Structure 1
Amino acid sequence: MKVKKMDTLKIENAVRDILEAIGEDPNREGLLDTPKRIAKMYEEIFSGLHENPKDHLQIFFQEENHEEMVIVKDISFHSVCEHHLVPFFGKAHVAYIPKGGKLTGLSKLARVVETAARRPQLQERIAKTVAESIMEVLKPHGVLVVLEGEHMCMTMRGIKKPGSKTITSSVRGIFETDAATRAEALSLINSR
């Protein structure tokens, strides 16, 4: 799906309209630059709309004998709930077992998470996108992605339960079919 670049002027006008609609004066001193600041912020926090997470995995190393589990845990992420356009944030944990020695740089896994998160999003979709990207590009024995997130749509509105965590996972390959391998990865992820 081809997404056009952001129209910052349209965002600025929309923010002015929202400010007026809630009963604010967009011309008062404290709000004068708010539409521009929000447009600039949206360019940053929604930059993943214009990137493909898989592109970060194109560089990998051939390490012939390494077919052991690789885990990068506690990858901080932030996103915006596509239902309410309020933030959610948390930690991602990514495990994979290389096949044929195809390894990617550890930072590349964090970049895949970041790219998938930087768009109006669902936590479940981030996990799925990360897992499928790794499977497609590196073709490992398996991938396990676990996300722990706190959603402001549950904290500041609705049920108003600060501190509640949502945990989602996406498993592929050996992590899906072998309970012992999955348990080992989860044990390592949960160790502090």
Structure 2
Amino acid sequence: MPFTGGIALTATSALGVSLLAAGPVTAAAAPPARTAAAPQQVALVSAQAKVSQARKAKQKQRAANAVSYAYKQIGDPYRYGGTGPGSWDCSGLAGGSWRKAGVKLPRTTTQIYKAVKHKVSWKGAVKGDLLFFYSGKSHMGVYVGNGYMIHAPSSGKRVKKIKLNGYYKRNFSGAVRPGY
């Protein structure tokens, strides 16, 4: 005689995730059979991987464009609040470079750091990443690869490419990867 009137826990599996569900007991039931992923599910996962690869490729191209633009600004004078063309401050240079690459960024260093969700480490930096320095993230530059960045240093100076030495590593406070 089947038992009725209690609570039974049943396990189900969907897309490789086990779920536990409670429901009234009416009869002893065999657990559901595990089935192979439906062709539609496999196609969906494959399509997501392609989209992800496409997004990565698009971001990499945008980063190359941003770096190329930053190189063209070397020698321009620093001007506090400068957003170019012709004179820049550090966040203006970074924002202008990425704007030329098709990505709009906020105006200041702290706003940019907060707005760009893809954070990266010092060792994980790649061309186009934006590097931030000092505790308040008050300075930034565009990483151009091989241990160098382009930045607008300070009043009286010009946009330049510099080697990221121990000083910058000691004062590093974060990095972001725009363009996703």
TM-score, length of structure 1 as denominator length: 0.29
Give the TM-score taking structure 2 as reference length: 0.31
Say which structure is richer in helix.
1
Q: Give the number of the structure whose alpha-carbon radius of gyration is greater.
A: 2
